[in-house]
Structure 1
């Protein structure tokens, strides 16, 4: 059985690693998330534009 002190030491080490995340890592994560979000939104927008332009026959108006 693992001692209580060992568990506390492991938890403390894990918490310290989480707290000591560098700001550059946060910027990279935020940039990546936003980039994926923007690409997904653009893809969905393009898909709906294609589908509804065929249904409404307004493809010539789009260009």
Structure 2
């Protein structure tokens, strides 16, 4: 904000965060998808520039890729 010529004290930012974080948390939780209880890990070996690398990923019970 200093780049735009506005000087804001750190205590003001702290008060804004105290007020806004619960609102943002509520909004994000509304859009959060539930995840299953079971996860499956998949490990694959691939060769990159002559060296073997391992690729890991997690899949839930509906086969949605997580990483």
> TM-score when scaled to structure 1?
0.32
Structure of greater Rg? 1
Choose between structure 1 and 2 for higher RCO, CA contacts under 8 A separated by at least 6 residues. Answer: 2
> TM-score when scaled to structure 2?
0.31
